[in-house]
Amino acid sequence: MIGVIGAGAFGTALAITLARKGTPVRIWARDPATVEAINTRKEAPRLPGVRLPEGLTATTDLAEVTQAQTLLLAVPMQALSGMLAQIDAPLAGKRLVACCKGIDLATLTGPTAVIASAKPEATPAVLTGPSFADDIARGLPTALTLACGDDATGAEIQAELSGTTLRLYRTTDTTGAELGGALKNVIAIACGACIGEGLGDSARAALMTRGFAEMTRLAVRLGAQQQTLGGLSGLGDLALTCSSELSRNYRFGLALGRGEPFDNALTVEGVKTAEAVTRLGAKLGVDLPICAMVNEVSTGDTSVAEAITYLLNRPLKEE
């Protein structure tokens, strides 16, 4: 059995694709109504129209899910630490796979460091890359990165989670994989704001490229391998998130650029990540101008027009 903690769209989509290949999956949800929908009607509230396989069951009892050897932690980045604190079961020898993207505001670290600090007896890993939950749930081909510092354990998780439509590539570079997944959300907000402001596709391409440079610069400074950022967890995820309105971060940016309201009930990971990465960049002396401007625009301290003016008037430099 595989356990999934978090019955949002992405956690449920992963549970669906695993159950379809015959793996028993137990998913934890906070809401009893969600559990009832999954168990009784075989429906997922966050994925309307997708019929759930028989091997997928749900519960509100964390103890039932944490019996699994592999646990997928499909909760927002800023909720990860609190979620781990709720787990009382012994986790020695278990694999905890973070399925969130971002930087923890309290510690300025990624998900595997948060897991290692909270549950040092378990093996942390992270699953990241270009993907939309609806694509995974409907069985459309998707490729992701599985990053685990212990390569042997990573290979076991890779085999356990991969299927006919979900293909995982493995790396031991957790830092690079995490930062690629985190910063692409910030750059997606910038690209959405650019298009929402009516600045055009050429400007968006420039933001993606220079944003990728920021992503790489910070990751390498923290010990990541540059090639990781050119893979699925970096460039691949950046390309998807900066160009599709299915991305919440991109849609949030569009709303900023158009001066329109955005649904506050939706989690936009890039907002908190922009704040965290701006603080982290300042601490390390790493120049991250696009991320800094996204942080200021997201908090209302700077307008989109002012941010663009600032970026265009920075001193000229070599690429």
Q: Is 129 labelled as part of a ligand binding site?
A: yes
The annotation status of 231 as a binding-site residue, yes or no, is no
Q: Which of 184, 272, 283, 317 is catalytic?
A: 184
| CA–CA dist 83, 16 (Å, integer) | 22
2 pairs with which residues across the strands? Answer: 25, 70
Q: Known binder of ligand: residue 249?
A: yes
Query: Is 10 annotated as belonging to a binding site?
Result: yes
The answer to the question of whether 248 is labelled as a binding residue is yes
**30 annotated as a binding-site residue:** yes
Beta pairing class for 142-148 and 123-128: antiparallel
Could you give the C-alpha distances from 282 to 28, 162, 248, 291, 305, in angstroms and in order?
38, 38, 27, 11, 24
> Does 184 qualify as catalytic in the annotation?
yes
The reply to whether 237 sits in an annotated binding site is yes
Q: At what angle do helices 248-258 and 289-298 cross, to 10 degrees?
A: 70
Residue 213 marked as a ligand binder? no
Whole-number Å distance between alpha carbons of 228 and 299: 31
Tally Cβ neighbours within 10 Å of residue 132. 18
Q: What is the rounded CA–CA span in Å between residue 168 and residue 128?
A: 9
6 is in an annotated binding site: yes
> Residue 159 CA to chain centroid, in angstroms?
21
11 assigned binding-site residue: yes
- Interstrand relation of 2-5 and 25-28 (parallel, antiparallel or unpaired): parallel
181 assigned to a ligand binding site: no
Q: Where are the alpha helices (DSSP H) in the chain?
A: 9-20, 32-36, 62-65, 77-85, 111-118, 133-137, 151-161, 174-196, 201-221, 226-229, 237-241, 248-258, 269-284, 289-298, 304-312
| Binding residue positions for substrate | 101, 248-249
| Binding residue positions for NAD(+) | 6-11, 133, 248
Please identify every residue annotated as catalytic.
Answer: 184
| Binding residue positions | 6-11, 30, 101, 129, 131, 133, 184, 237, 247-249, 269
| Binding residue positions for NADPH | 10, 30, 101, 133, 248, 269
| Binding residue positions for sn-glycerol 3-phosphate | 101, 129, 131, 184, 237, 247-249
